[in-house]
Structures are given as C-alpha cells and as structure tokens.
Amino acid sequence: MPVKKKERKKKKHRSPVLEQQAGIDSVVRQDRRGLLRTVPSKRKSQVCCEDGQVLPGSPDAQCCGNKTFDPSSHTCCHGYVSPGGGLSCCGQIAYSRTNASCCAGQLSKEYNEMVSQCCGTKAYYHTYDLCCGDELYNLTTHTCCGAEQNIILKKNTPNDKCCGSTLFNEDTHTCSVDMTIISKGSSIEGTGLNGGQCCNSKGYNPNLDMCCSGVIHTLKPGIHQECCGGSAYDIKSSVCCNGTLYQATDGETVCSGGIPFNPTNETVCGKVTHESGQHCCGNHIFKPLTDICCRGKSHPRTNTGLLCCGSQPYNPANSSFKCCNGKLHALSSHPRSWGCCGEGLIDLQTHECCSSKDQHLVFKKDSEFSCCGHHHYKTSLDSCCAGRLIQKHKQAQSTGKACRLVHIADIEDSAVCNKRVLMGRMHSLAIQHSRRVYVMIDVLEVMKNKSAVPLSHPTIITVDHCLCPLLNLGATYALWIPHNMTIDSVTLENSVEMTELSHLESCPVFTILQVMDKCK
C-alpha cells in the first residue's frame, strides 16, 4: 500500500540522521528494537534531538528548542534555558517548588508549592482563605454560595449559610428544596440540599450531613464528628487508626502500629503493649541511659562513646571496626589500609574507590588509570574535568591543585590533628573561568577543645573546576583547613580534606568532635 511505502522511505531517510554524533566520543545508532544507543566515535560532539535536529553538545546534554543545555545545572522550559538543575516550569519560567507556586501559568512567590493551593492564577494557604470560583475569600467574614459555588457573600452573623445565591441565619430559618428561605416552625419547612455538595454522585446538604469516602452520614447536634474511612465518629468516644475505628473505652487517644492506646496507662511499641512511661525501640522498650537503640534494635550501652552503624552499635575509638554508610566491618589487618567505598570495605593498598553522587565503584589500582567520578579511565587517552571524561587534547587548563573528597570514616588522625574544621551547607555556585566558587552558609568553626563557634557571615569556597569533585548544593560538608588560612575565603587544594555530612546517622558536630577527639 502507498502508506507503507511512504513509511519505509521515511525510515530510510532518517537513518543517516541517527548516525549523527551524540557526544565527544559517541554516535547515536538505532538498534533492531528501535531504541537509540550510543557507540564510540572520535568525531566532533553533537546531540540528536527528538525532532531530528543535530546540535552541538556533550554526551550528557539535552535539547531545548534550537540549543542544548546541561540538565544538572540548567532547566529547559518551553524552549528557554534557565540556570538551576531539576527545577519546575511555569510557562517559560523555571522555578523551585519549595520556594514558589505556579497557578494557571502565573508564578507566585508568596507561598511555596509544598503548602499552597491554587485559586485561578493566585496561590493561597487555606488557614483563613478559601477559593470561590476563581476568587479568594476570608472564611471568617464571607462565604461562597451559588449553584456553581462562585458567588462570594458577606456574612451578617457567624451562623449565616447559603441558600442558593443568598444567605440565611440557620438559627432562625431553613432552606427548602427549591432554594426558598423559610422561618423555622413554619408548616412548609423542609431540609433541601442548600445548594449542597456531591458525595459519590449523590447530593447532600453539608449543614445536615457529612461525606466520608463516598458515604453520607447525618450530623448529630452537639457532637464533633470526623471521618474514619467510610464511617463518621465522635472524636470524644472513638479513635481512628489507619482507617479502622475503635471505641475509646479506656481513654485511648494515640495510635501505634494501627492500635489505639492510652499513653497514661500503657506504651505501645509497634504492635506490642508495654507499661506506661517507656521509650520505644522498634517493637520493644529500652532504657536510654543504659541501652542504645539502632534502627529498632536495642543493645547494652557498654561504652559511653557508642554510636550506631545501621542496626549495630560500635565504638568509633576502636580501630578494629569501621562503619561505612551504615554497615559495620571488622578489620582483619592494619586499619590504615582499609577504606570505605559506599557501604563496602576496600584495601586501599590494592584497590581504589571511584565515587559520584549516586554510585561508588571499586577498581584495582593501576598506575595508568585514575578516577573521574565513578568512572575509571586511562590517563594517557582521556582527561577528567568536574567528574566528566573529555578527550585528552581538549583538557581544560587548570591552575590549581586537586582537592580530596574523603569519607568521614577515612579521615586519618594525622590529617586533622593540626587543622581547624569548618562545617556548613553549600548554598550557591558560580563558575569563574577555571574555578568553581561556592557560598557556604550556616558555618560553624569546630575547635579541638570540643567547642563550635558559629560564624556571622558566609564563607567563600573556591576550587579548581576540573581537578576538584563536584559538591552538592544543599548538602553539609566539613573542611579540614590549615590554621593560617583565612576563614572568609577558602581555596581548596591538595592540603585540604573535605567530607559530606548530610547522610550521617548521628549529629554532624558530634561526629566531627569524635574524629578530633582521636588527636592527642
């Protein structure tokens, strides 16, 4: 048929496009399943877009209109590229959902999207304001009426309710089925829907009934009722746990593991009941002064310096054990030869760990190879810049020295004993020629005498763009710097160790002091 012939010609015509280059050392080809794959190439770096365009760009680049961008540091919104990776789009504007809201294409910075709702193009928080049609109103002074719930009327009394598009005082009047306001006690009084609401396709009057998961229940005068699944209950006589209703026969007010209990009479840990006034550790109770709770398992606190490593307790001062990301390892030889790679343990004399934000890979040491993020590459063929492999002849010019990102468990005594420690959160980033410049906020200077002094100003952290690993914005880091270095502006070189603290199980300051306590 003509249509099939046309499709075959179209596929043949697209094949050369798919052969265009997708990166510095790769081209895009289509496999037999119709999926796009990259294969090695030494041609100029290009990207094949979904619309058939071939644009210059690195292997990790994505298309945005007629240009490419790095999704780790920029966001594409309807053909426009904006700084900042992983952002949301409000029309052509990129924004963070934790800092702003987008309503019908309009950006609002008054409320963030984690707490706000939209009313037309306006963002609002529902404590006092509600939406009526596309307009906001104050629920303490106004109400929303009308068959389509789009008319805002001012209340004359706190007891004013809607009857169609007008208000009535429910203490003295009622609303009939035909939306007529009738004095209470009149022979023609009725209930009506009062312009009402829907519950599983059925209309109901919210002044007389309530809807619980599609089931209508009659409101009882003088009783504060709430929903528990499809049931309505009196909160003074019952308690709802995970959608199941229980009678509060003994003053139960709290749920644990789906079971209600009275905290003045008992303690429920998970689904196990214990005497009142106890502390829970998983399903069991424990004594905080004599025991330590690690991920739901309690252990005797045999040493005041015990910490948790996953579900196991350990003494960080004991060099026979090492904690790597929540997994405890017993060391079989000299502790200095062992290091962490993710939650695994490696012999640093024979192997090395290549790490990026999400991956930690172990490779056998080879003088001809080195790490670039989680990649292991041959230094005679390729180069590394900011965790990415590039061709050797295109290596960026670096003027500084490489800095080290070290796992907290691998910080050696000698590396910290004669240094000061700065701890803070990486807030923002700028690129200046061959340098990356971070702003670190909420900065503490941790002293060897077990004190921590907050700094009243941010600290500027400068690193070599290619030779130093990428730092995650929003993450907390510790920097071990020489005493003669100014703390207003720090340049990280090979004399500076740094470690990320964001995912520690214990308090970061306490962990740093534990490390420094090894210094004698």
Query: Do 77 and 89 touch, CB atoms closer than 8 A?
Result: yes
Per-residue confidence (pLDDT) for residue 184, from 0 to 100? 73
Per-residue confidence (pLDDT) for residue 293, from 0 to 100? 92
Beta strands at 202-204 and 209-212: parallel, antiparallel or unpaired:
unpaired
pLDDT in tens, the chain (520 residues): 344 443 434 443 333 333 333 333 444 444 443 334 444 444 557 777 777 788 887 767 888 888 888 887 889 998 899 888 778 899 999 988 777 889 888 998 887 776 678 888 888 876 667 888 888 888 888 888 887 888 899 988 888 888 888 898 888 888 877 778 888 765 444 745 555 678 887 888 877 888 888 889 888 877 788 898 888 988 888 889 888 888 888 888 888 777 788 888 888 887 788 888 889 888 889 999 999 999 888 999 988 888 898 888 988 888 888 888 888 888 877 767 888 888 888 888 888 888 887 788 888 888 888 888 888 888 888 888 878 888 776 555 554 456 778 888 888 666 677 788 899 999 999 988 888 899 999 999 887 777 788 888 899 988 888 888 888 899 999 988 887 777 788 887 766 788 888 777 778 888 888 777 776 6
Annotate 468-506 with DSSP letters as a single string: S----TT-EEEEEEETTS-SSEEE--TT-EEEE-TT-SS
Q: pTM for this structure? A: 0.47
> Is the domain 413-518 a CATH 2.30.30.90 member?
no
Amino acid at 176: S
C-alpha triplet 368, 372, 378: angle, nearest 5°? 25
Per-residue confidence (pLDDT) for residue 35, from 0 to 100? 36
Q: Say which residues have a Cβ less than 8 Å from residue 148's Cβ, sequence separation at least 6.
A: 133
C-alpha triplet 60, 64, 65: angle, nearest 5°? 145
Residue 298 pairs in a beta bridge with 293
CA distance linking residue 174 with residue 205, whole number of Å: 11
Per-residue confidence (pLDDT) for residue 425, from 0 to 100? 92
CA distance linking residue 218 with residue 240, whole number of Å: 19
Tokens representing residue 86 in the block: 């992983």
Ordered by start, the domain boundaries in the chain are 62-127, 130-183, 202-277, 327-391, 413-518
Cβ count within 10 A of residue 432:
9
Condensed to tens digits (0 to 9), the pLDDT of residues 208-222 reads 888 888 889 888 877
Per-residue confidence (pLDDT) for residue 438, from 0 to 100? 92
Condensed to tens digits (0 to 9), the pLDDT of residues 455-478 reads 888 999 888 888 888 888 999 999
Cβ count within 10 A of residue 212:
17
Strand (E) positions, 166-290? 166-169, 173-175, 181-183, 197-199, 202-204, 209-212, 215-218, 225-228, 231-234, 238-241, 244-247, 254-256, 259-261, 266-269, 272-275, 279-281, 284-286
SS3 230: coil
Per-residue confidence (pLDDT) for residue 188, from 0 to 100? 47
Cβ count within 10 A of residue 510:
12
CA distance linking residue 297 with residue 507, whole number of Å: 19
CA distance linking residue 293 with residue 504, whole number of Å: 16
Query: Do 48 and 16 touch, CB atoms closer than 8 A?
Result: no
Per-residue confidence (pLDDT) for residue 401, from 0 to 100? 55
State the number of CA atoms in the 13 A half-sphere of 284 facing the CB.
12
CA distance linking residue 43 with residue 22, whole number of Å: 9
Which bin fits 148, alpha (ψ -120 to 50), beta or left (φ > 0)? Answer: alpha
SS3 514: helix
CA distance linking residue 308 with residue 494, whole number of Å: 31
Backbone phi, psi, residue 13, to 5°? -70, -30
